Structure 1
């Protein structure tokens, strides 16, 4: 690192990371005296990475912290430059001229924070449509004597059985490409089985050909319980580090019998496309849309007792999906592209139909709706009127009034008091969203709590039952719906840890019919957090973690903190698009005037959750934390 970094400078870091490890983000720490600030870097998915970002203040010390489990030899800093804002604008202009011009204009207008944010997005986010350029620009050759040196003893690591399915017809060229990629593997403790037509692979190690109709148990005959079966279709390509990465990962996850990795496709002109950079194990997502794909791996012990099945049937991806759907133990996600499919249609495959299933248990559980409010009768009136359409109407409503003074608001609250099942709780004083919610929850008589902003509007009559059905599941904590702006564009579809530096909504502004990356906007799935604008949770779970933290997070980030504390107790957060509400974001109190308090709450958040901020399990570490729409990192 440079010894003398002037205030306001930027850093440009280039580095290499081990390919034979599951990808994760390094973190750069800045010691600026009384506090330490951190920023997550990219995961260098194909071996090389680059990070460009501002240096906060004038730090006394700068250091890079490697992901857990990555040895010091698995990371190499190849260059470090200190840049001025003008030099950074020049770099940004090469990627997006007009956005760089806009950033320069914001800087001249004194909107420095906005200018910095725009430049960071330009420099550290690449559209998914430019995946080929992104991949080829960051690839490097395997360096087994250096950063890619393996630490697994092949005699102690699992044996890997590559099982290649050869379909009928002229498959010789497809098979040749697959075998050539297997031949290049740096890991040597593996064997080969072909399923289908007997086509002798010239020059290969000993191999076995099994007929499509033969018993699938022959595919893993002779393997130990912890050995790995790697199914692959003729035509698929695996990189030379694939088996080494899989063996190392399997050793680190001895209790897991099911694994999956990331994948992409290659088409005309040898261009890569359709990257499937997957979240960590998400059974709700997989049950709705089979996202684990074709880069899957099984220990032999999980394959025993699967019943009589032919080899050809076992080699169907739908069979693999079923094994994951029935998973009862831990499932490992190796965050690395270890499979490239030949010429598949843009967008990849989803072999399980999109599901709008709502868990049956608790569909009609009694709920308490808690609506904090202050003045703005126009917003509250719309919210309350929309709630009248809810069916079934088996809920109570607690309106928490934070000292309304406007006559129209007071009149509306008086009318609300007269309605059955409605209570108005007076809670004057400084605005503290967490405290208002907790006061409402203390009065709640329902099994399920629904925290609802007064600037929301329900659309469908079944919005509540669809949320409650998820919230009462034993392993579910907080549940959030899809929130849209009045235009129908997405405002909330789950939050990503580390996005924007702390936590933020992903895919803001996506169209109403946009399915999202890997279909995330169209099916229920696990997320790290959901927004407090509409957050549903069982009262017993809410009480178990002590509710919202009023002292650390009176306004911002309290919803994220609540979700993370629920997760610590084993209750996951779920986003479901089957319930949709309109949200007029921050319409009641606005967005201005809270910068100082927000900075203090961000400091608390980083103190409490800094280790999670760099590694959201449901957001791949090769995806950008600098852009509001899903993009590639750098």
Structure 2
């Protein structure tokens, strides 16, 4: 072979470049193959886990025997609007109803004037074979809201269950619902977890949901399927409105949630969405183009009905939204800065001065070294013109006060290595004159000037007792996105802590939602509630967990904690060091009451065994 072409430097360069391109191309092909195999294996593993959760025949037989022993056996009316459903999917759907281990049901089948003749034939076949199938054949096509209204109006049950014409009910679905109603007969709404199933009957994409979270619902329709609602409530609100076709269930639940708080989450998969080309379960984007518009109008109606002062914003993923709440009226706000590391105090002070569009009534600085001269010097500089555009702490109407804490000592009289932060916070709150209190750490910088306005706006809503936010490190790693409790966890931090800023499972870190607790590093609460609860419990939690304990006591008193992800704060300080004694005390006090966190989906559940 003639290698003379290699004598030219340019030719040699081209030869090497061609070789590099070939190697890169081969590497890309290998990577794609490996990725495809991994996805296939992952999907097979996930499908296997979901099938393992499918109730075995012996379990279903036991439920059928137990049904007669239930003292409360309400009739459940399954409302199934139908239009041109492929025969195999329609039969699978109706067979899944027949397979229920609970027998006191009826299925209200409403054909919305399907042109395909097989639909009427199949519905008549099932109605003739089992009288619990009741049919209605519409003469005109009214679309899904009208057909569903016809369904619940013909229903005779105390509750209605919503089923799509191409989906599957798990065989234990109704028994699980009725079992819960026997424990809590006052419930008005019950919803379960769900997954998806394709045309090869492979299960995938399980959706494990939080417990009832009223502050998440306007941002994301997380109830979905399986959804059971007391029929009386549907009748009271007039059923579905046809102008919201495509998002009719979300819009219905938004109105129902304004009439009842008796809403329960069954932590079991009881429903499978069918994935095919005509289904809304196919992909993240809506199958029909009018859905997004209907969703936006449905959430906008919530703002009008509830008289919110709010702007509607697009959410982080399709089919989600975010509300920017504005305070309905001027609120007197006391900012309490816990000066744990004086070298970082300037950052929080300057954030309040330059990156805050909500002026507090007063600033209270709590610490062993009060830094009075430093703060007064910052104010003098601003008043002198160095910061003419400053607001917040430098506003002439904002009072600036200091609370000096005596150094803590241990039982031997030596200074404690860790400050009793809870005692500091209580001391600041005792001096506060505002109707709202916000506790802030030092070393905080805001990414946007509306961070405080967004937080305060939530407290205008009935039942909201605490508001917190997303805390990131300077490298944009998660420091805090809500606390997690439960006896399966060793601590209270979210498992996302320390990871790069991530949306988390089902984008929960980027959505307004309810959480079990938030950090004292940014902790907003009404002064009246603070007094009602007796402040932070520093006898049990002097250094750690007093903030979470406060949130749990507030929850037991009927108040919610809200996480506001759009108010992002960058913290220069590291997370507090855990105190083992207080960790044990927290578990001892709360694990029996909250064995599983009601709002957080544990990654062990999502990625491990069901």
Settle same-fold status: TM greater than 0.5: yes
Shift of 1:296: 1.0
Query: C-alpha deviations, 1:129-151, integer Å up to 9, x for none?
Result: 96334323454514245588635
Counterparts of 1:125-524 in structure 2, within 5 Å, are 131-142=46-57, 143-144=59-60, 150=66, 153=69, 156-168=72-84, 171-196=86-111, 197=114, 198-201=120-123, 202=125, 204-206=129-131, 207-210=133-136, 211=138, 213=142, 218-220=150-152, 227-267=158-198, 269-307=200-238, 316-343=248-275, 344-346=281-283, 353-362=319-328, 364-377=330-343, 379-389=344-354, 390-403=356-369, 412-413=374-375, 415=377, 421-430=399-408, 431-498=419-486, 500-509=489-498, 511-512=500-501, 514-524=502-512
Give the superposed CA RMSD: 3.3
Q: Matches of 1:569 and 1:127 in 2, distance apart? A: 43
Matching residue within 521, 535, 538 for 1:547: 535
Task: Please state how far the C-alpha of 1:255 moved relative to its aligned partner.
Answer: 1.7
Deviation digits for residues 147-195 of structure 1, max 9, x if unmatched? 8863564784011222222223x52222011012112111121222212
Taking a change above 3 Å as real, the CA distance of residues 268 and 194 of structure 1, as seen in their structure-2 partners, is closer
1:565 pairs with 2:532: no
Q: Matched residue of 2:218: which SS? A: helix
Which residue pairs with 1:599 in the alignment? 580
In structure 2, the CA distance between the partners of 1:266 and 1:144, relative to structure 1 (3 Å rule), is closer
Gap change, CA 1:527 and 1:208, over 3 Å in 2: same
**Larger helix proportion of the pair:** 2
Secondary structure of 2:525's aligned partner: strand
Greater CA deviation, 609-618 or 561-570? 609-618
Q: CA deviation at 1:500?
A: 2.6
TM-fit CA distance, 1:436 = 0.5
Normalising by structure 1, what TM-score? Answer: 0.70
Matches of 1:192 and 1:462, distance apart in 2: 51
8 Å contact kept, 1:481–1:577: yes
Structure 1 unaligned residues grouped into runs of 5+: 1-125
The residue number in structure 1 matching 2:595 is 614
Greater length-normalized contact order (CA 8 Å, ≥ 6 residues apart) = 1
Task: Summarize the alignment of residues 94-133 of structure 1 with structure 2, pairs less than 5 Å apart.
Answer: 131-133=46-48
Q: Assess, with a 3 A threshold, how the Cα gap between structure 1 residues 470 and 145 changes in structure 2: closer, same or farther.
A: same
Contact 2:443–2:571 (CA<8 Å) still a contact in 1?
yes
Alpha-carbon distance in structure 1 between the residues aligned to 2:329 and 2:205: 37
**Aligned partners of 1:159 and 1:228 also within 8 Å:** yes
The Cα offsets for residues 428-479 of structure 1, whole Å up to 9 and x where unpaired, read as 3122100101111111122211111113222211111111111343311111
How many angstroms does 1:510 deviate by?
A: 5.3
Residues 192-230 of structure 1: CA distance to partner in whole angstroms, max 9, x if unpaired?
221224233435412332225477665245755x62212
After TM superposition, give the deviation of residue 558 of structure 1 in Å. 0.8
Distance 1:625 1:432, change over 3 A: farther
**Quick one: distance in 1 between partners of 2:368 and 2:152?**
66
Equivalent residues of 1:291, 1:518 under 8 A apart:
no
Cα deviation, 1:48-85, whole Å, max 9, x if unaligned, reads xxxxxxxxxxxxxxxxxxxxxxxxxxxxxxxxxxxxxx
Q: CA deviation at 1:494?
A: 1.1
Q: Distance in 1 between matches of 2:218 and 2:243?
A: 23
* TM-score, normalization by structure 2: 0.72
Label 1:318 to 1:607 Cα distance change in 2 as closer, same or farther (>3 A). Answer: closer
Contact 1:286 1:325 in 2 (8 A): no
Seen in structure 2, the aligned counterparts of structure 1 residues 417 and 546 have a Cα distance that, compared at 3 Å, is farther
Confirm or deny: 8 A CA contact 1:496 1:528 kept in the other structure. yes
Q: Matched residues in 1 for 2:242 and 2:429: separation?
A: 56
Structure 2 contact 106–134 (Cα < 8 Å) conserved: no
Q: Are the structure 2 counterparts of residues 324 and 302 from structure 1 closer, same or farther at C-alpha, using a change threshold of 3 Å?
A: closer
Larger strand fraction of residues? 1
Question: Which deviates the most, 258-267 or 492-501?
Answer: 492-501
Per-residue deviation, 1:305: 3.6
